Chains A and B, each alone.
Chain A
Amino acid sequence: MKLRRTNVDFIVDAIIAVVVGLIAWIMLYPFLNVVAVAFSDYSEYLKRPLMIWPRNINFEAFEYVFSNPLILNCYKNTVIITALGTIGGLFLTVVTAYPLSKRHLKGQKFVMMFIVFTMLFNGGLIPKFYLIKSLGMLDTLWALIIPGMLTSFNIILMKNFFEGLPKGLEEAAKIDGAKDIYILYKIIIPLSMPIIATIALFIAVSYWNSFFNAVVYIRSTSKWTLQLLLREIIMTSNAALLQGTNFAEEKLIQTQSVKYATLIVVILPILCLYPFLQKYFVKGVTLGAVKG
């Protein structure tokens, strides 16, 4: 139904559009500024610190970043943990959520409670640290991959999506004598691509961004991740700056540009992947959360 609109409506519409646009601008601006500064000559930054468009383009900081062996090694570690963690996590989430989506299954309620309880209560930092230590995973990449693979939240999201799928095909297959594993593989998974893409994105982002586990479990520099390194780059030079030391002007310029370039290197993969996956996750989250 088309509603007749008055002049007041048009003004209100315009105001709302502007307000919402401004809020989105506030969210986007820091990223634009960081990208612009990272690719510009430092003198341009001092002239126009608020710039959003690169001027006097300069790749020096990036050349430095990509020639630094430590940074490359951190990149490699982060890619490894993200790839293995996402594959393993996705597999575990699917196989755990599928039986749990069968409400008639005996024991389903108990296992759900068993899983949900961990959202409410946990052993805390030190018992977990001690567990990782006992498993011999301390200061290995496994300590960053295995804990966090399977989360209650992702299981619930996927289970709710499975429950919302039409039952017809599944029942027909069941009558034909198909096994549950076959039904999952041939019928359920192909129908669940939106939620699988969503959860793959969630898991991959959480691995790429994970920082806490690395701070607690990793000691040697050779096993650092990008997030740890970025933190170090931002903090160390920052501390030096705060002490008001006699950094030569040039050196100061370099650290500033390197910080910006490292920031870009860390967020770039997410920025590239995000637009392709975001159309899925709104659908996935909405459908999955209905009964959540």
Chain B
Amino acid sequence: MSKSSICSNQLALYTKPKSNALQSAVQYIKKNFWLYLLLIPGVAYFLIFHYAPMYGILIAFKDFDVVKGVWNSSWIGLDNFTYLFKSKDFFNILSNSIIISFYRLFFGFPAPIILAILLNEVRSNTYKRTIQTILYLPHFISWVVITGIIYVFLSPSTGVVNLMINEFGGKSIAFLQEPKYFRSIIVLSGIWKETGWGTIVYLSAITSIDVEQYEAAFIDGANRLQTILYITLPSIMSTIVVLLILRMGNILRNGFEQIFLLYNPMVYNVADVFETYSYRVGILEGRFSYSTAVGIFQSVVGLIFIMSSNYLSRKVNDAGLW
């Protein structure tokens, strides 16, 4: 430990306590010197990598010139936003983002709840633990690998699925080129990857239920379904509501990787979402200002969504996120 800190501690001891606010503040900081020192790298990190880009939001309101930099580029006001709202891409990406999100919510949200309740009903602990180990695995595998598996499985010429279709006399289908199959593939592969992992939080909520409740129900002659409906489900309701609210707040967010890795120009009209669109126009086409405007729209609307759903949750459930 450094000498200076020892000195400063001694100093703190020997200085006469005055009713001076500044002095007591200095003393407080000296007393907690290490705690504040430890905070510095983390705070600096967030300032540089999260708050500095917020300054870059100005790019959306400027005719951004890389040579001139953010500050010196000329202002163009809301031109990028009016362009965005008028373009027909906008309606397409907005509706795709909402539709895909909604499918995910409708089919994907209940899945881990059901699975967690089923797991809780498994009697043998060894069996349960083995199953859990397998269920958590897909969460740790990258989208690149999983979409890679999807590609090789669905390949029209050599994929397992089409080999089976051919076996039964059917014709090969290029699943990933067909707009009608695309969203189902996105939603199903998402459920496949994250359902197992999603059970963790519900299972931990279930373990905090008092066992006596189940015993009392058994003595009263309740059957399995009744204990699930009247004990398990109500006990995890607050967890369900909090997670549902989080999901509602993220309704415009679909993530970049999964969709980017699976889509192709033939399915853009059903697959393109905010993340993929702002990447294409920004990084590939170099329209920095326009792409920033797209990002701001998504961020601001997302913020409004999450604030209002948190407010609702506080009202209804008294269990908000903050």
A residues with a Cβ closer than 8 A to B are 1, 3, 9, 12-13, 16-17, 19-21, 23-24, 26-28, 30-31, 33-34, 46, 49-50, 92, 95-96, 98-100, 102, 105-107, 111, 114-116, 118, 120-131, 146-147, 149-150, 155, 179-182, 184, 205, 208-212, 215-216, 227, 230-231, 234-235, 238, 241-242, 252, 256, 259-260, 263, 266-267, 270, 274-275, 278, 282, 285-286, 289-290
Q: CB distance A23 to B46 under 8 Å?
A: no
Q: Bound complex: CA of A215 vs CA of B143, how far in Å? A: 13
B70 CB-CB contact with A under 8 Å: yes
B169 CB-CB contact with A under 8 Å: no
Give chain A nearest CB distance to B246 CB in angstroms.
10
Q: CB distance A289 to B140 under 8 Å?
A: no
Q: Bound complex: CA of A120 vs CA of B246, how far in Å? A: 11
B56: which of A128, A210, A278 is its contact (CB, 8 Å)? A128
Give chain B nearest CB distance to A21 CB in angstroms.
7
Name the A residues within 8 Å of B160 (CB-CB). 33, 49-50
Q: CB distance B149 to A34 under 8 Å?
A: yes
Give the size of the chain B interface in residues (CB under 8 angstroms).
96
Q: CB distance A234 to B45 under 8 Å?
A: no
Name the B residues within 8 Å of A235 (CB-CB). 151
A124: which of B32, B119, B292 is its contact (CB, 8 Å)? B292
B78 CB-CB contact with A under 8 Å: no
Given known contacts A19-B118, A216-B279, is B148 in contact with A98 (CB within 8 Å)?
no
Given known contacts A20-B131, A211-B142, is B45 in contact with A149 (CB within 8 Å)?
yes
Q: CB distance A99 to B36 under 8 Å?
A: yes
B308 CB-CB contact with A under 8 Å: no
Counting chain A CB atoms within 10 Å of each CB, the highest count among B36, B152, B283 belongs to B152
B179 CB-CB contact with A under 8 Å: no
Q: CB distance A234 to B119 under 8 Å?
A: no
Q: Bound complex: CA of A238 vs CA of B174, how far in Å? A: 12
Give chain A nearest CB distance to B67 CB in angstroms.
12
B11 CB-CB contact with A under 8 Å: no
Given known contacts A19-B118, A49-B163, A274-B140, is B148 in contact with A124 (CB within 8 Å)?
no
Q: Bound complex: CA of A91 vs CA of B146, how far in Å? A: 31
Q: Bound complex: CA of A285 vs CA of B306, how far in Å? A: 24
Given known contacts A99-B36, A234-B152, is B288 in contact with A126 (CB within 8 Å)?
yes
B residues with a Cβ closer than 8 A to A are 1, 5, 28, 32, 34-39, 41-43, 45-46, 48-57, 59, 70, 115, 118-119, 121-124, 127, 130-138, 140-145, 147-149, 151-153, 155-158, 160, 163-164, 174, 177, 192, 196, 200-201, 204, 207, 215, 218, 224, 256-257, 260-261, 278-279, 282-283, 288, 291-292, 294-296, 298-300, 302-303, 306-307, 322
Q: CB distance A130 to B70 under 8 Å?
A: yes
Q: Bound complex: CA of A238 vs CA of B52, how far in Å? A: 40
Interface of B is mostly: helix
Q: List 11 A-B contacts (CB under 8 A).
A: A120-B307, A121-B54, A121-B299, A121-B302, A123-B57, A124-B53, A124-B278, A125-B282, A131-B56, A209-B144, A215-B260
Residue of B nearest to A13 (CB): B123
Name the B residues within 8 Å of A211 (CB-CB). 142-144, 257, 261
Q: CB distance A227 to B164 under 8 Å?
A: no
Q: CB distance A278 to B57 under 8 Å?
A: no
User: Given A105-B35, A126-B292, A130-B56, 20 other A-B contacts at CB below 8 A?
Assistant: A13-B121, A16-B122, A17-B127, A20-B118, A20-B131, A24-B134, A95-B38, A96-B41, A111-B43, A114-B46, A124-B299, A125-B292, A126-B282, A128-B53, A130-B288, A230-B144, A242-B174, A270-B140, A285-B200, A289-B201
Give chain B nearest CB distance to A142 CB in angstroms.
12
Name the B residues within 8 Å of A147 (CB-CB). 49
Counting chain B CB atoms within 10 Å of each CB, the highest count among A20, A100, A105 belongs to A20
Q: Bound complex: CA of A30 vs CA of B161, how far in Å? A: 12
Give chain A nearest CB distance to B263 CB in angstroms.
12
Name the A residues within 8 Å of B291 (CB-CB). 124-126
Name the A residues within 8 Å of B121 (CB-CB). 12-13, 16
Give chain A nearest CB distance to B77 CB in angstroms.
18
